[in-house]
Amino acid sequence: MNPLPAITDWVHLDWVLVVVVAWLAIGFMGVVALRRFRFVAVVLFPVGACFSLLLMAVALSAAFSGTETAVLPLGLPQLPFHLRLDSLSAYFLLLIGGVSAGVSAFAAGYFRQGEGTPPGLMCLEYHLFLASLSMVVLANDAYIFMVAWETMAMSSFFLVIANHRIPEIRHAGYLYILVAHIGALGILLCFGLLQANTGDYTFANMRAQHLSPFWASTAFVLAVFGFGAKAGVLPLHAWLPEAHPAAPSPVSALMSGVMLKIALYGILRVSFDLLQTRIWWWGVLLMAVGLATALFGVVFSTVQVEMKRLLAYSSIENIGLMCAGFGLSLLFSAYDMKALSALALTASMYHMLAHAFFKSLLFCSTGAVMHATGERSLGKLGGLMRYMPWVAWPTLVGALACAGLPPFGGFVAEWMLLQSFLFTTGLPNGFLDMLVPVMAALIALIAALSGYTMVKYFGVIFLGQPREESLSHAHDAGSWERLGMSWLVAGCVLLGLFPNQVIAIIDPVTQLLVHAGLAHTVADNGWLLIPVNVERASYAPAIFLLGILGSFALAFLLVRKLYHGRMRRVPPWDCGYPWQTPRMQDTAEGFGQPIRQIFEPFFRLKRHLPKAFDEQPSYKVTLEDPLWYWLYLPVATLVERVSRIIGMLQQGRIAVYLMYSFVTLIVVLLVVKR
């Protein structure tokens, strides 16, 4: 008997499929153990996390190993599944594996018995979601792509409505699946154009087609619309702040950290790989949509008073920044400025990986706070750092990374993106040469508002005094939750300290898509990150970290020398008024009020005042999305009216139906020529 092949004899694509099959097997084992909560929580989810680590390792190796293809004898007759693992697919598999490892470990300690969906069914939906995410990036034809895409949409829909007994959660789930299917129609139409009436829907055939500028532009716009609906770009963002608060926190972490990036993968695959044409206004359109989305998201996140809704709008902001980077890369590529195109694309892809880790971490820590306190409103939290230190410190790391502060990955990504917007003096179009630096100023404003939001998020939850007496009974995270958050913290820190190594992983992707990269430049500069040349800009994360640690060490030594190591614990400064109460500290509403006043045209304000003179005095302002009233509700009203008119055809009488058939036959005979 021949021995089994060694691991090194297996191609990477085989191992990715092993992980996908293993996730599916874990999910079906959960169905077998439908209500065995302990088995599902402490066995199946940790095993799934181990396979996530395996996927991460395989993807890291595949990123430097060229392209692998396969054809699986599945699907319909004459429509097998075509798979392809290239550097772009490998990068997103790395993202899926790295983030899902931490989230799965966190989920092992997060899920509680008796919360909505049975634990075994939740296990199936969760791992089916992970498997479908992986198959989307492996797909090499439109058929398997749409099968995996719809599987991803439906599995995430059932995860969102896990607590389906609550009407608001069902409403959020239905809105999400509606927008997802509208986007899927755009993707189908895009693929229909890309195959150029050849009947061959493989991606290899689409790459071989050379569409006219009109049809290529139409396919590009359809791709931005279809994938943008899943990514949450403006104005197709309405589902995101509804679905994220409704879903369990590990699901919100995967949807924000991973699923939104898979939608951006679709834009990348179509724009840079399947389409052979690059037109300058594509980049301008994507930049405009991205920056509008980012500004809208960050402004709304600053005034939110519910934790997960705040993080959802923050995700909209980050997705907008990534789209703006893609647009700038397309603009540079259209003018054959390959080095700058690679810089913008590298910055956006770095941002995707950094955001995947820090936003998943923030959603996980939010889930831990919600389980410990039973509260999701910022107005009822505060002072949790003394009761939940194990949750507070990882949250602080995630908040600093989200705010774009060094030495974390969020800073590297936003700094490189800002640099790419400033290196535009060589554009042949004078108007664009002036416009793009102005966009850089807008990115700086968005980054500042993002930092403002994270100060509010962390400060209101963990600092100050508890706003409710019940918060003193809050418990810290369990061991599995700590393990998952620690893994995500490590990702945030490593992405900040080793940018050159991460850029080396991104380099094969930019070589594939724009035929240029930064790996050679950063490799020649050791630990110094230099986007283009040292005269323009540079960043040394190791030196920055050593400077911070050195400052703390110096302060510690000075205290010990000057004060002989004495330490006193005293109350914080109370402005000369020692009788402080929780009501005297800043609230979430008060913290966001300056931004609300400055950007008031962004919001639809509702002020609630007492209706009667003797009613208890109260004042409340509700902030709503104006696009919901300007776009979504009019469209819904129109659809309902059209549906009622069409419904009049359904009379329930056989004679009327026979008349329809007779009239149709007469019309066909009169119209159709022989």
What's the rounded Cα separation, in Å, for the pair 53 and 102? Answer: 9
> What confidence score (pLDDT) does residue 156 get?
92
CA atoms of 268 and 282, how far apart (whole Å): 13
H helix intervals, 307-429: 307-334, 338-373, 389-402, 409-422
Q: Do residues 181 and 153 make contact, with C-beta atoms less than 8 angstroms apart?
A: yes
pLDDT at 318 exceeding the cut of 90: yes
Give the pLDDT score at 654.
83
**Which helix (H) or strand (E) element contains residue 654?**
helix 654-671
Q: Percent of the chain at pLDDT above 90?
A: 41
What's the pLDDT score for residue 609?
Answer: 60
- Cα dist from 445 to 289, 425, 516, 562, whole Å: 16, 21, 30, 42
Q: Among 238, 387, 391, 231, which residue's Cα sits nearest to residue 321? A: 231
Question: Confidence class of residue 524 from pLDDT cuts 50, 70 and 90?
Answer: low
What pLDDT shows up at residue 464? 80
For the chain, the residue count is: 674
Is the Cα dihedral 653, 656, 662, 665 positive or negative? negative
pLDDT tens digit sequence for 22-79: 999 999 998 888 888 888 888 999 999 999 999 999 999 998 888 888 888 877 777 8
Q: Sign of torsion, CA 32 36 41 46?
A: negative
Mind listing the pLDDT tens digit for each residue in 471-509?
Answer: 777 888 888 999 999 999 999 999 988 888 899 899 999
**Residue 655 token pair:** 């004679």
Query: What are the pLDDT digits (tens) for 575-584?
Result: 777 677 777 7
Q: State the pLDDT confidence band at 5, using cuts at 50, 70 and 90.
A: very low
pLDDT, one tens digit per residue, over 421-468 is: 887 667 777 778 788 888 888 998 999 999 999 999 998 888 887 887
Query: Is-above-0.85 flag for pTM?
Result: yes
d(CA 263, CA 153): 11
Peptide bond just before 235 cis, omega within 30 deg? yes
Look at residue 8 in the predicted model and tell me its pLDDT: 40
Provide the pLDDT for residue 1: 34
Which stretches within 33-166 are classed as H helix?
37-39, 45-62, 87-110, 119-138, 142-160
pLDDT tier at 6 (50, 70, 90 boundaries)? Answer: very low
CA 101 to chain CA centroid, nearest Å:
16
For residues 322-360, one letter each, b for 16 or more C-beta atoms within 10 angstroms of the residue's C-beta and e for the rest, the string is bbbbbbbbbbbbbbebebbbbbbbbbbbbbbbbbbbbbb
Please compute the mean of the pLDDT values over residues 555-568 and round it to a whole number: 72
**Using an 8 Å Cβ cutoff, are 307 and 482 in contact?**
no
Mean predicted confidence (pLDDT) in 525-540: 69
Check residues 79 and 180 and name the one with the higher pLDDT.
180
Q: What's the average model confidence in pLDDT over 333-351?
A: 90
Q: Phi, psi (5° rounding) for residue 417?
A: -65, -45
Query: Would you call 43 exposed, middle or buried from its count of C-beta atoms within 10 A (0-12, 13-18, 19+)?
Result: middle
146, 373, 478 from 483: Cα distances, Å: 35, 21, 9
Per-residue pLDDT, 523:
61
pLDDT: which is higher, 649 or 32: 32
Within its chain, how far is the Cα of 652 from the centroid? 48
At residue 159 the predicted structure's pLDDT band, cuts being 50, 70 and 90, is: very high
Contact between 314 and 301 under an 8 Å Cβ cutoff? The reply is: yes
Reported as type and span, the H/E element at residue 207 is: helix 203-208
Tell me: pLDDT of 138 over 90. yes
Q: At what angle do helices 389-402 and 338-373 cross, to 10 degrees?
A: 150
C-alpha to C-alpha distance for 150 and 156, rounded to whole angstroms: 10
Per-residue pLDDT tens over the stretch 363-404:
999 999 988 888 888 888 888 888 888 999 999 999 999 998
Q: Which phi and psi (to 5°) does residue 664 adopt?
A: -60, -40
The residue among 22 and 615 whose pLDDT is bigger is 22
* Domain residue spans of the chain: 626-671
pLDDT bin (cut points 50, 70, 90) of residue 616 is: low
Between CA 289 and CA 655 the distance in angstroms is 53
- Backbone φ, ψ for residue 78 (5° rounding): 65, 10
Mean pLDDT for the chain?
A: 85
State residue 7's pLDDT score: 38
pLDDT tens figures, 247-257: 889 999 999 99
Q: How far is CA 220 from CA 224, 278, 289, 320, 345, in A?
A: 6, 10, 14, 17, 17
User: How far apart are the C-alpha atoms of 100 and 434, rounded to whole Å?
Assistant: 42
- In the predicted model, is pLDDT for residue 340 greater than 50? yes
- Contact in structure between 259 and 356 (CB atoms under 8 Å): no
What is the mean pLDDT of the segment spanning 79-92? 91
Closest CA to 299 of 543, 622, 601, 671: 601
Backbone angles phi, psi at 67, to 5 degrees: -105, 135
Nearest residue to 327 (alpha-carbon basis) of 283, 292, 364: 283
Q: Would the pLDDT of 614 be above 60? A: no
Residue located via tokens 């002072």: 383
User: How far apart are alpha carbons 466 and 382 in whole angstroms?
Assistant: 4
Q: Cis ω on the peptide bond leading into residue 77 (within 30° of 0)?
A: no
